Amino acid sequence: MKRTSHYNDCRYGQLHYYKQGSEDGNIPLICFHMSPYSGRYYEKFQAELSSDRIVICPDTPGYGGSDAPEQPASIEELTLAMAELIDGLGFDQVDLLGFHTGVLIAAELAIIMPGRVRKLVLPGIPFVPADKRSAIRKNYETPRPYFDDEKFVATKWTEAVSSGKEGWSEARKVEMFADVMRAEFRSNWGFMAVFDYDIETKLAAIEKPVLLPVPDEMLSPSTRGAAALFSDATVNELPDVGADLFESCPTEFITMVREFLA
C-alpha cells in the first residue's frame, strides 16, 4: 500500500501526517520525528513497518506541512496536538516511536494517554541533566541568521550532506535540506522545547514497556544514561548501525522493532 498524505484539525490549525499500511493489521504505530525535519524523515522505515500494520508519521506543528504555533510551544503543548490526531484517527490503542525531539513527544503522550499507549520505541534520547539544560537552551534562543550571515545556508547545506548520512541518496539529502529550510525561523523552537522539558520526572512516570535501541549516533551516551529512569526498559545495543538507521533500515533494527511490538 502506498504512502498517502493527510491533514487533521488541531489547536494550531491543520496537522499534516503521512499514512501507510492496512488498518486490519497489528496495533498502529505512530512515529515522531527529530527537529527540524518532518514526518517524511521516516519514509523508508514507514514502508518497512507498514507491511503488517498502519504507520502514521506526523509533522510536528511548525515543521513540514503542519501549521505552526504563533510562538514557541512546549513539549506538553505540542503533544496535545498529537493527542488530537490520535482522537481524529479514532485509534483505541497505539504504539509510539520517537527519535531525538520525537522521543519527548512520545513520552508525554504515554503520560497523558496511558490507557491508549501500549509500547514505546525510543532511540536517541536527548537526556541532559537539569543543571545543564538552561545553558544549552540559550544556544537556540537566537534566531537563525538567514540574512545576517552569508555563509549560514551554505553551512547548513554542508551539514545536510555530511557524515552520518552515508545511506542517503542525493535526492533524499536535498529533500531533508528542504525540510530544514522550510522550518525557517521556527527551526530552533523544537530544540528550545526539548531543554525546557523536565525529562527526569517525565521518563520516570512512564509505566509502559520501552525499547531503547542504541545505534552509533550522537545521543547514544544520553540514551544509555536515561535507561535507568524507566520502570520497564530493554536496552539493545546496535554498535554497527549509524545515525542513518531510519534511512538504511538494517535488518537487525527492523527485526528488533517488529519483535518488540509483536
- Each residue's pLDDT tens digit, 126-153: 999 999 999 999 999 998 999 999 999 9
Say what the pLDDT of residue 262 is.
92
Please write the tens of the pLDDT for every residue from 18-44: 999 988 879 999 999 999 999 999 999
Say what the pLDDT of residue 163 is.
60
Q: What is the mean pLDDT of residues 147-168?
A: 84
**To the nearest whole percent, how much of the chain has pLDDT over 70?**
99
Q: Is the pLDDT of residue 50 over 90?
A: yes
Domain that holds residue 74: 4-261
Which H or E element spans position 257?
helix 251-261
Which residues have C-beta within 8 Å of that of residue 6, sequence separation ≥ 6?
16, 17, 18, 19
Which residues have C-beta within 8 Å of that of residue 180, sequence separation ≥ 6?
36, 37, 156, 160, 187
Q: Is the pLDDT of residue 164 over 90?
A: no
Q: What is the mean pLDDT of residues 222-233?
A: 97
Say what the pLDDT of residue 22 is.
87
DSSP code of 208? S
Which residues have C-beta within 8 Å of that of residue 89, sequence separation ≥ 6?
8, 28, 56
Say what the pLDDT of residue 109 is.
98
Say what the pLDDT of residue 180 is.
92
Residue 59, all three cell numbers: 509533522
Q: What is the dihedral of CA 58, 38, 55, 241, to 10 degrees?
A: -150
Say what the pLDDT of residue 168 is.
84
Residue with the bigger pLDDT between 160 and 110: it is 110
Say what the pLDDT of residue 243 is.
86
Give which of 66, 92, 76 is closest to 8, Cα–Cα. Answer: 66
- Give the separation between CA 82 and CA 99, rounded to whole angstroms: 15
Strand arrangement of the beta sheet that strand 233-242 belongs to: 4-10, 13-20, 53-58, 26-32, 94-98, 117-121, 210-216, 233-242
Q: What is the mean pLDDT of residues 231-253?
A: 94
- Look up the CATH number of the domain holding residue 254: 3.40.50.1820
- Give the separation between CA 258 and CA 230, rounded to whole angstroms: 21
Reported as a pLDDT band with limits 50, 70 and 90, residue 183 is very high
Q: What is the mean pLDDT of residues 86-101?
A: 97
- Give the separation between CA 60 and CA 101, rounded to whole angstroms: 10
- Give the separation between CA 227 and CA 230, rounded to whole angstroms: 6
Residue 42 · residue 254 · CB < 8 Å: no
Where on the phi/psi map is residue 141: left (φ > 0), alpha (ψ -120 to 50), or beta? alpha
Say what the pLDDT of residue 23 is.
80
Q: Is the pLDDT of residue 9 over 80?
A: yes
Cβ count within 10 A of residue 228: 10
Beta bridge partners of 53: 26
Average pLDDT, rounded, for the chain: 95
- Low-confidence winner among 16-20, 168-172, 187-191, 255-259 (lowest mean pLDDT): 168-172
Give the number of domains in the chain.
Answer: 1
pTM of the entire predicted model:
0.96
